[in-house]
Amino acid sequence: MKTLSLAFNSAWHVLAVGVVLGAGVPALFAFGIRGLAASSGQMADDSTPRAWGKPVAAVCFLFVCAAITLGLTIIVSSGFGMKVSFEHIYPTLVEKK
């Protein structure tokens, strides 16, 4: 019975990461694109952009780029016999044991 509970616990972690990365990061990117869009649903020639659009888009794109960079770092570091450790506030590369 313990094996079954461990399997469900692992499946829950995989599902949570899948939802965050599979839906959260693209939604954040879409919110950044929306921040760059013209305001109030008018034609782009007739309206002025939102004042908060560019800063919000920049922050959204920064988080998306950070997520992509972290994912690539995890994949590439495993090929070099290293792993990403989150023991500190920022991720660091350490040797696999």
pLDDT for 8-58, tens place per residue?
Answer: 889 998 999 889 889 999 999 999 998 888 666 666 566 677 788 889 999
The domain spans of the chain are 2-95
- pLDDT, greater one: 80 or 38: 80
**3-state SS string over the chain?**
CHHHHHHHHHHHHHHHHHHHHHHHHHHHHHHHHHHHCEHHHCCCCCCCECCCHHHHHHHHHHHHHHHHHHHHHHHHHHHCCEEEECCCCCCEEEECC
- pLDDT, greater one: 78 or 1: 78
Confidence of residue 61 (pLDDT cuts 50, 70, 90): very high
